Amino acid sequence: MSSSFFPCAGARALHAPTRREFVYGLGTSLGSVALTSLIAAEAKGPLAPKTQQVPAKAKNCIFLMMEGGPSHIDCFDPKPALEKLHLQEFTREGKQKSAMESGKRYYVRSPFKFAQHGQSGAWMSEPWQHLSKVADDLCFYRGCQVDSVNHPTAMYQMNCGNRFGGDPAIGAWVTYGLGSVNQDLPGFVVLPEISYPQGGSANWGNGYLPAHFQGTALRAKGSPILDLQPPKGISQEHQRANLDLLAKLNQKHVNDHPWHDELKARMNNYELAFRMQMQVPETINIEQEDAKTKEMYGIGQDATDAFGRKCLLARKLVEKGVRFVQLYAGTWDSHDYIERAHGNLIKQVDQPIAALIKDLKQRGLLEDTLIVWCGEFGRTPDNGVRGGTAYGRDHNPKAMTVWMAGGGCKAGHTIGTTDDRGMEAIEEVHHVRDLHVTLLRLLGLDDNKLTFYHAGRFKQLSQIGGQVIEKLIG
């Protein structure tokens, strides 16, 4: 055995060899073969494009996350029964009395009128003035359920499949399974709010997957990444020489310790950052888009400018070959004044999202791009008394609306049903793990094959396996 594993007199103490270090330290053909295989697998880069595991139309995904829990009852799932129950006390037994008399929880009707749109007859509340015009491109799903009523844990579950954080985000799994077409841009890009969502950047982390697959947060306005450009006086040639020298020194360490992938990931990130200096500014330059396109997305208008920029940037990123783009809009946590709060939030995202769908469609990209809209949970048909008129809703993990567009989903259909008050899904009911499995299938990935060995077992996005919701696939 190599003596390098053990301290000798006068030498600094070294750690006892791990099993992996022992195998590599033998210097036998086993270690050499393993190293050769590892080098060969990464010769094209960790984000090199991979073939789909199952046939599917979608090649990339734009995930629209409405953080805070949008109300299905006030957006896409009308409940006429609440008109009669308005301000009656909410009880599990179904008995009601005036909430103004009891001071307890009470039912709240939606402040918005609903109408059906398109040939599909999709229900939408009146603030959705633009999305209603692309109703036939949407597939609404009302049967999804999650486990948590708390924002951080519910966000983790919707994004990562695990309520307690630390696992890879769905975008990380997708880029792990499919790679990315453009090697000069991250495969998984996130466009967050200025204030990160509850749970923070772990919502787009790589978890136990290699670091290459974590989400890269960009800003839709101003410099996309702080310090992306080098300081004045530092040329690209100077940067290139520095990176080459650093890579040479780091490679020696990697060759001596091939089982440590953190340094290898850091080296790849240095190179990606260097290439991004050329690609990112051009890609995110929204100003080079024509005036008609910017107007379509609502750029330049106070209410829609911020999210309009995100949606237009998402289109530009998938057009450039980025595999997974996640956009955040929030917060939809309307415990009171839901008419004002949800009304303003819908106005901010309605026109940009409809423009994104139209833009992708006219460019021939919608069929290849799966769009997903959701929050971390839905909202209840009741709320506590808050001054008598500040009607709002609480968190509801048992009923919510998710919709999809493009990417082979069953456009022009509404799948699943909630009860007459919107409290619980009662038809085509599935846990969120089944939704995740279905999204992977639409992207050509099989949850049972898309696994990573960690902590003694093969892990997957669904945690314990799930079933495809076949009715959501066109």
Point out which residues pair with 372 in neighbouring strands. 63, 404
> What are the tokens at 314?
């998402």
> Which pLDDT tens digits describe the chain residue by residue (474 residues)?
433 333 333 333 444 555 544 444 444 343 333 333 344 444 577 899 999 999 999 999 999 999 999 999 999 999 999 999 998 887 655 555 444 444 578 899 999 999 999 999 999 999 999 999 999 999 999 999 999 999 999 999 999 999 998 999 999 999 999 999 988 889 999 999 988 999 999 999 999 999 889 999 987 565 555 455 555 656 556 555 655 566 666 676 667 666 666 656 655 554 555 455 555 666 677 888 999 999 999 999 999 999 999 999 999 999 999 999 999 998 999 998 999 999 999 999 999 999 999 999 999 999 999 999 999 999 999 986 555 567 899 999 999 999 999 999 999 999 999 999 999 999 999 999 999 999 999 999 999 999 999 999 999 999 999 999 999 999
- Distant-in-sequence, close-in-space partners of 74: CB < 8 Å, separation ≥ 6: 110, 111, 112, 125, 338, 342, 379, 393
Is 106:91 a contact under the CB 8 Å cutoff? no
Domain 60-224+284-472, CATH homologous superfamily name and number: Alkaline Phosphatase, subunit A (3.40.720.10)
Q: What pLDDT is recorded for position 221?
A: 62
- The 10 Å Cβ neighbour count of residue 361 is 16
Q: What pLDDT is recorded for position 269?
A: 56
Q: Which amino acid is at 387?
A: G
Helical axes 261-283 vs 236-256, angle rounded to 10°? 160
Strands 369-374 and 60-67, how do they pair?
parallel
The Cα 256–Cα 209 span in angstroms is: 22
The Cα 87–Cα 83 span in angstroms is: 9
Q: What pLDDT is recorded for position 22?
A: 45
Place of tokens 């749970």: 199
Q: What pLDDT is recorded for position 229?
A: 55
The Cα 312–Cα 296 span in angstroms is: 10
How is residue 196 annotated by DSSP?
Answer: P
Q: What pLDDT is recorded for position 18?
A: 56
Residue ranges covered by each domain of the chain = 3-41, 60-224+284-472, 225-278
Is 172:213 a contact under the CB 8 Å cutoff? yes
Distances (CA, A) of 368 to 22, 72, 106, 170, 418: 47, 27, 45, 18, 31
- The 10 Å Cβ neighbour count of residue 461 is 27
3-state secondary structure of 268: helix
Is 156:203 a contact under the CB 8 Å cutoff? yes
